Structure 1
Amino acid sequence: MAADYKSLHEAFVSNHEGTSLVEIACVVSTAPLGVLLRSCLIGVFCSFRFSIDFCTLILPVFLCFTVLADHAFAVCVSMALLSASLLATLTQSKHSAPTTHDYLCTSSSGKNSFISHFRAYVNVAAAISILAVDFSIFPRRFCKAETFGTGLMDIGVGAFVVANGMVAPEARGKWPSSSTLYQKSHLVLQSVISTLPLWLLGFARLLVTKSVDYHEHVSEYGVHWNFFFTLAIVKIFSTIILCIVSPKLSWLLALLLGTGYQYMLTKQGLQDVILHGMNGTDSRHGIFDANREGIFSSFGYLAIYFASVQLGKFFLFKRTKLKQWIVVLCVLIAADVCFWILLHFTQIHVDPVSRRIANLPYVIWMMAYNLQLLPCFLLVDLLISALIHRGVLPYSNSDEHCLLEAMNRNGLFYFLLVNLLTGLINMSMSTLFATSLQAVMVMLAYLVLLSVVTVTLHSKRIYLKVW
């Protein structure tokens, strides 16, 4: 890769200030709306399952991330109106329906589809953004903010940490209430072993990017650090800490870590160290100074992880009636409002959001953002259940064959394939100079290939798992 093109590419993805929180919220709303639209169509066009899945679950998100970014609200309204029209048509053919009381008192299936949908969309959003950012069709305001700010891509690693924390063994109750030193050592060893694929992927990415002189955004994590190392570190250190402190106190750990880390940032000069190096000259000498963003931001991601474990414990508490999930929905909405208010307060009186250092406002933003999206998926899930109960939508096991379910089954492999294809595409063409049509065609081919491979593995029951 020519040095001048590499420099041009690095400049293309650097020094951005982000966009508004409202725009991000609008853009990501296509995800739950896509799930609803799919459910309305899949019963009628079941023979075209893959096409329906791709056109409702992937395509709207891709369009709102790129060429229709300025019209995201119109896309969301169109999807909602189309779903409503389809449901109205289906409802007209039904003559009788159970009462609302009957529906609320029916037994819950016990399967939290909304969590699965949320986790799958974390992968979808990452897959689209990682490659689209290298094309001009991706708005620069959606790129990661250089230091302070809220870009669409700033959600990435934080959302992955939330998605993993919610279904971690600690959240699912698969954690010993009391254990000996030997058992605790075994838990830590298991944690280290489970992260080996992440370490391998992290070092593989490091070796490849250095050997082919691939473009890098150094201020994102550092010279050698990357996304995979952050996930591995968070997993290992969270296990060590939870061997000392009960998972029941995950909320307290999140609070102490988040506020303690912010105190060190603002009162003890740690923020200047992260932004400008140990000697204040932006030097990158030595392993520690070269990777200071990745190392120190892990404290913020640990706080997010512990908060997510507490959230997962709340979600995975056994509920036998659908009306109990209505209560969960109300609690989530109330909690989300509180987090948005807290975010507004901290941005004024503490610091703006910074994904680069994963400060307290970033931790709060990640919880506010994810607590905004999760109730949307839950609401759609409850609505679909109600429509099935009333006979408007046919009951089926279509979720088992859903593209999102396939992604969840092979989340790590999916993300690995995303990184491999992104690298191959960038090395085979000059993405910066691609026309809008070329960019859209390449992106669609890339997303279709990802979906086909994922669905094929799922149909053959081939699954790869880290934790």
Structure 2
Amino acid sequence: THGPRIHGFPLSCPSFNPHMHWPCAQAGLVGMGILAAHQYALQRLGWLAWIHAEQRTLGSLLSANKEGLGSLPGYLALHLLSLSLGAGLRRTAANARPLAVGAALALALQAAFLCSAARLQPVSRRACNAPYVAWTLALNAQAVLGFAGGAALADNVLPAALSALSGRMLPVFLAANLATGAVNWGMDTLGAGDWTARAVLAVYASGILLAAQAGWQVGRGAGT
């Protein structure tokens, strides 16, 4: 249930050289440590202001790539924490109530996001700060929980909509990008209110799902 192993540790855990393999729990602890140091640098050492500043030093490679370089520790922490949480979710598959455990995890991550955003600083994707990491983990935990719930309700048969998305990933990806461009071109997304944004997202997601399912049905009919 944990995948192939080398030296007793799952291959799904990170290894930074061929002779070092970490257990997923240790990866989570390292990720938390990296995230704490990264957040300290953002708040106390002025990294966030530097990353968000519009000014760039002409001819400076560091300044030209400050968002990518400045956010790198945060994304590394996100990767390690994701591995650790993913391993934990896999272990709950043998639990009598895996959906309850998954729901508790999703709620805990959502609470962590709300607390960190309120007490530390607003979410910043450009800096990949702690609130953004918590939000990303919470969002993905909710998605995994939704997939697991759908599979449980469907007696472990993949719903047609998910089969359509899985079977036509490249066309769906391209269609989603075109639809995103159309939305950005057709309306002021930054100035849209909350309910307008929710309505647009609902129409957008429904349209992508319907298009994917239609393409999947056509492909099945054509024998592909």
TM-score (norm 1): 0.36
Task: Give 2:55's match in structure 1, choosing from 282, 288, 305.
Answer: 282
Q: Give the AA of the match of 1:356.
A: R
Is the alpha carbon distance of 1:404 and 1:384 closer, same or farther for their aligned partners in structure 2, counting shifts above 3 Å?
closer
Give 1:271 shift.
Answer: 1.3
Is the alpha carbon distance of 1:451 and 1:302 closer, same or farther for their aligned partners in structure 2, counting shifts above 3 Å?
farther
1:241 aligned residue: 16
Is the alpha carbon distance of 1:367 and 1:422 closer, same or farther for their aligned partners in structure 2, counting shifts above 3 Å?
closer
C-alpha distance in 1 between matches for 2:205 and 2:105: 37
1:234 aligned residue: none
Q: Give the AA of the match of 1:254.
A: G
2:49 aligned residue: 272
Q: Give the AA of the match of 2:34.
A: L
- Retained in 1: the 8 A contact 2:164–2:212? no
2:138 aligned residue: 368
Give 1:354 shift.
Answer: 1.9
Is the alpha carbon distance of 1:421 and 1:380 closer, same or farther for their aligned partners in structure 2, counting shifts above 3 Å?
closer
Q: Give the AA of the match of 1:274.
A: I
- Retained in 2: the 8 A contact 1:250–1:306? yes
C-alpha distance in 2 between matches for 1:422 and 1:346: 29
Find out whether 1:251 has 2:21 as its counterpart: no
Q: Give the AA of the match of 1:246.
A: W
Task: Give 2:117's match in structure 1, choosing from 331, 337, 347.
Answer: 347
Is the alpha carbon distance of 1:240 and 1:420 closer, same or farther for their aligned partners in structure 2, counting shifts above 3 Å?
farther
* Counterparts of residues 286-365 of structure 1 (less than 5 Å): 286-317=60-91, 319=93, 324-326=95-97, 328-365=98-135
C-alpha distance in 2 between matches for 1:251 and 1:457: 42
C-alpha distance in 1 between matches for 2:16 and 2:68: 20
Give 1:349 shift.
Answer: 3.1
Is the alpha carbon distance of 1:338 and 1:445 closer, same or farther for their aligned partners in structure 2, counting shifts above 3 Å?
closer
C-alpha distance in 2 between matches for 1:287 and 1:460: 52
Task: Give 1:419's match in structure 2, choosing from 167, 171, 177.
Answer: 177
- Retained in 2: the 8 A contact 1:417–1:450? no
Give 1:443 shift.
Answer: 6.2
Give 1:274 shift.
Answer: 0.6
1:405 aligned residue: 163
Q: Give the AA of the match of 1:414.
A: V
1:382 aligned residue: 152
TM-score (norm 2): 0.67
C-alpha distance in 1 between matches for 2:115 and 2:180: 38
1:431 aligned residue: 186
- Retained in 2: the 8 A contact 1:409–1:458? no
C-alpha distance in 1 between matches for 2:17 and 2:169: 25
Aligned residues: 207
Gapped runs of 5+ residues in structure 2?
Answer: 189-199
C-alpha distance in 2 between matches for 1:332 and 1:304: 19
C-alpha distance in 2 between matches for 1:405 and 1:445: 15
1:50-98 per-residue CA deviation (whole Å, 9 max, x = no partner) reads xxxxxxxxxxxxxxxxxxxxxxxxxxxxxxxxxxxxxxxxxxxxxxxxx
C-alpha distance in 1 between matches for 2:5 and 2:222: 31
**Larger radius of gyration, structure 1 or 2?**
1
- Retained in 1: the 8 A contact 2:15–2:22? no
Find out whether 1:173 has 2:7 as its counterpart: no
2:191 aligned residue: none
2:195 aligned residue: none
Find out whether 1:262 has 2:20 as its counterpart: no
Give 1:275 shift.
Answer: 1.1
1:118-174 per-residue CA deviation (whole Å, 9 max, x = no partner) reads xxxxxxxxxxxxxxxxxxxxxxxxxxxxxxxxxxxxxxxxxxxxxxxxxxxxx9524
1:52 aligned residue: none
C-alpha distance in 1 between matches for 2:178 and 2:222: 22
Q: Give the AA of the match of 1:283.
A: R
Q: Secondary structure at the match of 1:241?
A: coil
Gapped runs of 5+ residues in structure 1?
Answer: 1-170, 180-186, 188-237, 386-395, 434-438, 463-467
Q: What do you get for the CA RMSD once the two structures are aligned?
A: 4.3
Is the alpha carbon distance of 1:413 and 1:461 closer, same or farther for their aligned partners in structure 2, counting shifts above 3 Å?
farther
